[in-house]
Amino acid sequence: MTLLTELAGQGLIFFATLFIFLIGILVLFVALLFIKDVTQTKDAIRRNYPVIGRFRYLFSTLGEFFRQYFFALDREEMPFNRAEREWVYKSSKAIDNTVAFGSTKNLSPPGTPLFINCPFPTLDEHATTSPPITIGPYCREPYQASSLINISGMSYGALSKPAVRALSKGAKLAGCWMNTGEGGLSPYHLEGGCDLVMQIGTAKYGVRSTDGKLDDTKLREIATHPQIKMFEIKISQGAKPGKGGILPGAKVTRDIAFIRGIEPGKDSISPNRHPEISNVKELLDFHQHVRDITGKPTGFKAVIGSYGWLEILCEEIQHSGIESAPDFITIDSCDGGTGAAPMPLMDDVGLPIKEALPMVVDILTRYGLRERIKLIASGKLITPTGVAWVLCSGAGFITSARGFLLALGCIQALKCNKNTCPTGITTHDEHLQKKLNPEEKAVQVKNFVYKLHYGTGLIAHSCGVLHPRELTRKHCRIVQPNSTSIPLDILYPQQDMLAEYQN
């Protein structure tokens, strides 16, 4: 007993000594922080409230986490609320995504679309799939595109290697196309065997010469890939209209630098426009040059702001002949963007897709070019509601970027512009990438596309049409500031002209 008592006493002395030692270390650490805070001159909060002032930044950082998981309601968050994200998560994992006990969506805000159900909806056995659309009828190799929903431009560099692989494999399973983004064509885009749209950004990554201009030889070589179905000239993008792409140096690995033709470890900043394109005529000339070399459908991507240039574009096409028209135009919403962008451009420049798309449709209709130039809409279209609205407004296809990131498992951590993405989707940290299994995530991509098609079909059949591409403006109403809605075809009546033109 004496021995046990002695050992216990020694143990207490040891732990007491350890405790005092740790307290001393903590006091010393706090003292050093105190001295550092009161002597620095860059931060007034830390100087006036040494040590304690540091908690402000900790709580600010943790605030993002607590708002997302504890405090924000299902329909409150931006850019995508919890209800939207949950729909994508469940759809991509093939989990039941029906809801109970009524909608939590507020239907009063102006701009909310409401679809007009028919008293005699389309019977399931009469419903059909949307027919394919031919893009580029005057090209040597036109493209027959079937999928309503496709993967928008996200480059290898902005995305990790396993993320690109998963999207490529998933696009093949889903039967949709994948846009390479402005970072050039990588082996990982080709790996899945899907149809690809090669984007030519302002820096010409992948098809650039040593002086940064378009290299026709490289362009011709890329066009020989049978998976490359179209070429998209990027004029501007939703995250930053008027500014080129930004890839921080921390994400420019040797592999990415080799594919882009730039130096590793240095910021990859694209010019804010193509130096060769300063007016509408030069845009059409550049487009024609790319199409002549590749023989494949060629169009451009732009955020709509001013629109007078579109009228000039249509006039030039009428003067030069309908063959000179772009084969497609991708309209990007001002609220798009998966990568780094300055806040003034991200928040306040350009028009949202809800205003831009009907405007472009009407301009093309007035000039008789609506059928010649196919329209692709992009911008926060991750649920059947968004897809159906776009089809009602006159688009032929939808592309999504962030929707597919969510399908891969993105948790909206808002770290896309850093190299610290916790899901491995937008980071090149191999440790963080390990949990992203391209084979498993490819299936989730396929499921997401299927559910978008299925959900959009439900809306179309409720409206009494056979398939989603039969939706027109008369099938949708838009809520006004007085909380009542008016038909979309009254807001934009020229859709009736389009229907007559098509018939």
- What is the number of helices (H) and of strands (E) in the chain? 18, 15
CA distances from 126 to 129, 451, 460 (A): 10, 20, 12
Determine, yes or no, domain membership for 160.
Answer: yes
Domain boundary among 30, 46, 71: 71
Tell me the two tokens of residue 222. Answer: 């890329």
What total number of domains does the chain contain? 2
Residues 384 and 462 grouped into a single domain? yes
Residue-by-residue pLDDT tens, the chain, 503 positions: 565 566 556 667 777 787 888 888 888 888 888 888 888 877 777 777 788 877 766 666 655 655 565 555 555 666 777 778 888 888 988 888 787 777 778 888 898 999 999 999 999 888 888 999 999 999 999 999 999 999 999 999 889 999 999 999 999 999 999 999 999 999 999 999 999 999 999 999 999 988 888 999 999 999 999 999 999 999 988 766 767 777 777 788 888 888 888 888 888 888 888 989 999 999 999 999 999 999 999 999 999 988 899 999 999 999 999 999 999 999 998 776 656 666 666 666 778 899 999 999 999 999 999 999 999 999 889 899 999 999 999 999 999 998 899 899 887 877 777 777 888 888 887 888 887 899 999 999 999 999 999 999 999 999 999 999 999 999 999 999 998 999 999 988 864 444 444 43
CATH number reported for the structural domain that contains residue 391 in this entry = 3.20.20.70
Determine, yes or no, domain membership for 129.
Answer: yes
Residues 370 and 305 grouped into a single domain? yes
Instruction: DSSP for 233-285, please give it.
Output: EES--TT-TTS--EE-GGG--HHHHHHHTS-TTS-EE--SS-TT-SSHHHHHH
SS3 351: coil
Residues 55 and 135 grouped into a single domain? no
Residues 370 and 480 grouped into a single domain? yes
Determine, yes or no, domain membership for 290.
Answer: yes
Residues 143 and 21 grouped into a single domain? no
Determine, yes or no, domain membership for 93.
Answer: no
Residues 38 and 186 grouped into a single domain? no
Determine, yes or no, domain membership for 14.
Answer: yes
Residues 29 and 154 grouped into a single domain? no
Domain that holds residue 46: 2-71
Domain boundary among 71, 86, 108: 71
Position 497 scores a pLDDT of 47
Residues 213 and 361 grouped into a single domain? yes
Query: Is-contact 264 235, C-beta < 8 A?
Result: no
Q: Where is 60: in which H helix or E strand?
A: helix 54-66
Domain boundary among 46, 71, 96: 71
Angle (nearest 5°) at CA 123 between 117 and 129: 90
Determine, yes or no, domain membership for 481.
Answer: yes
Residues 129 and 64 grouped into a single domain? no
Determine, yes or no, domain membership for 11.
Answer: yes
Residues 66 and 136 grouped into a single domain? no
Tell me the two tokens of residue 81. Answer: 């609320």
Residues 149 and 24 grouped into a single domain? no
* Torsion, CA 21, CA 26, CA 28, CA 33, rounded to 10: 170
SS3 106: coil
Determine, yes or no, domain membership for 353.
Answer: yes
SS3 399: strand
Residues 270 and 377 grouped into a single domain? yes
SS3 52: coil
